[in-house]
Every structure is written in structure tokens, then in C-alpha cells.
Amino acid sequence: MRVAEMLRAVVPLVLTCFWSSVLLVMIAITRLRNGPDAFQPKKRQRPACLDDPQLGSHGFVTVGGIRLHYVENGDKSKPLLVLVHGFPAFWYCWHYQLKDLAKDYWVVAVDLRGYGQSDRPAGRDRYAVDLLAEDVSQLVLALGRTGCVLIGHDWGGIVAYRVAELRPTVVDKLIILNAPHRAAIQTLLRTSWNQLFRSWYVFMFQLPWLPETVMSLNDFAALERMFTENKAVQHHYPQELIDAFKYTFGEPGALTPPIDYYRANFSFTQSPIESPRIICPLLVVWGERDKALSPVLATMSARYADRFTVRFLPEASHWVMMEYPQEVNGHIREFIQKE
């Protein structure tokens, strides 16, 4: 047992050294082949899809000194749904939900601090998960509501879990898409070699400047690969969508705050996380082809709530809400309407 624990403590450092070496060699080769232009993302005009009136209207609100950008759609007299994106994304990853769910709800998709058109405070400490959770809970209040259905994906899901823990009165129901509870992922990293190796990028993200360089290399080739790996659903990733993501993260300084989420909330010697129970009903929807997060995390995370439902989509990858919007929206509607 002790040997296994020691190995698991050492492996993250070994993975960091290994992948850093690989990536540094890749950067050097790319520089020799393509010259300095390989490090400069292509300059783009703002894609028209980001101002599509069918998605709703843009707004801003200041909470705790942070100006947050959001897009809202639907009737403000109806129940409020707050959609919280993850990495590397922004409000537009919810475009299917903004169109469809707005038929029955008031839907608000926010840019978390550090992303998109929201403020980007300097310093990794400004991206601690409790600060992010407070942003979201204050957003709900600033919108004139005391509660909402909170929906989070990836980092947005991690933040949403924390909102439900710290501000339970703000969350009427919680919906999580391919996002682990922090205590669940911490436990799995200590007990599963599979998840440990899947999480190599988290360790690499602890380093300065290297993650940003790798992400932006060759006009965000790594970002584009994330959207093109699941060949069965390529029609959900048109060029305009990919350009919208590249445009957003191609702005000066746009990559460091999102990567600071990992730097601020992860360490090699992290103490065990203790979390209060989640008292609101919880739905977890999980794309089983997620390369970074094991499906085991779906049920592990759900068990931190007193009442939970888990739904798996076997053919979906990490980007479940964009790849299978009809199924995801159906699960969301069914869960909200359920007493």
C-alpha cells in the first residue's frame, strides 16, 4: 500500500517532466519548420455567430468588483437557467441550449471571470474556486432572482458544485455535464492509474508560459483537435464555431486566466477536500467518450448529493451539450419538470 501511494505521488512529477520535455521539443521543431509565425495566432474578424440574435442579447453585470458578460434568451418571467461553461470554452458553447431551452425558460449563459468578455483579473489567486462560486451566486441575485437551475460543464460544473455547497438557497436544482466533484477527482487520482494518466495535462498546466504556448501553437491547432476527434458528430463543429473559439482565445492575454484555474486550484500536495452535502436535486449527464475524465466520476460525483440522477450518453465525448444537444436538452427538461 505504501509503495503504491509513493508511486502515485511521484508519477505526476514524472508526467510533468516527460510531457514538458516532449512539448518543448515539439515547440523547437515547429519553430524551425514554420518560423516565428507559428507562435502568432491568425488575426480574425469577430465571427457573425457571436452576434446571432436568435441566441439572445448580450449584457454585463458587476459582482464583487468583477464585470461579467452574459448572453440571455427567453422570457424573464419564466424559471431562470444559468449556464456555466468550462475550459477551453465560453458562453457560445451553449448555443444549442440558448436557442432551444429559451422556449420554456429564461436562459442566461455567462462568461466566467477570466474568459471571453468578462474581466480578467491578474494573478492566479483571483481564480480560486470559492471566488468563482461567489461570482455565480451573486450573478443570480443581480439578475433579480433568489434561486435558479444551475447548469455547469467541465470547470463550470466544478464551480456549480461549489455554489450548491456554499450558497444552497441560490440553487433550486443542479445539473452537471462531464464535470467531476473536486473531492471525487481527488479521490480517483489517488486510487486510479487510469485517471492519473488521463490527467497529464493538469500537471503540465502548473508550469508557467508552456501551456499557453502549446495551446496557441499553429493557430490553436490543439484547440481545433479537441473539436474534431469525435468523427461521428463533426456536423456540430462547423468552421464558424471553431473560428469563434479561436477568435475568443486569440485575444492578447486570453489564455492565461483560464489556465490559472488549474494553477489556483490544484497542487501536487493537496490536502483531502471536505465538502458539505449538496441538498438540492442533482442531475449528472456524462458523455462516455470523454478522453480526460473517466465515466466512473459521474456516479462518484453524484454521491455527494442527497438526491441524484445520472444519465450516460455512450457516443458523446467531453463536449456533450454540443454533440448531442437534443438528448441533453431532453434530460434537462425532464429533470426540471420532475417534482
pLDDT above 60: residue 1: no
pLDDT band at 131; cut points 50, 70, 90: very high
Separation of alpha carbons 53 and 69, rounded Å: 16
pLDDT of residue 268: 67
pLDDT of residue 2: 61
Which residues are marked as active site? 154, 262, 318
Separation of alpha carbons 320 and 48, rounded Å: 24
pLDDT above 90: residue 32: no
Mean pLDDT of the chain: 94
Residue-wise pLDDT for 297-308, tens only, equals 999 999 999 999
pLDDT above 60: residue 161: yes
Question: Which residues are bridge partners to 72 per DSSP?
Answer: 57, 108
| Domain segments of the chain as ranges | 58-185+243-337
Q: Please give the backbone phi and psi of residue 81, each rounded to the nearest 5 degrees, phi first.
A: -115, 125
pLDDT above 90: residue 85: yes
Q: Please name which of 117, 101, 105 lies closest in space to residue 143, comparing C-alpha atoms.
A: 105
Which CATH architecture is the domain 58-185+243-337 placed in? 3-Layer(aba) Sandwich (3.40)
pLDDT of residue 35: 87
What long-range pairs does 227-234 form, CB within 8 A, spacing at least 24? 227/319, 229/291, 229/317, 230/289, 230/316, 230/317, 230/319, 230/323, 232/315, 233/315, 233/316, 233/317, 233/323, 233/324
pLDDT above 90: residue 246: yes
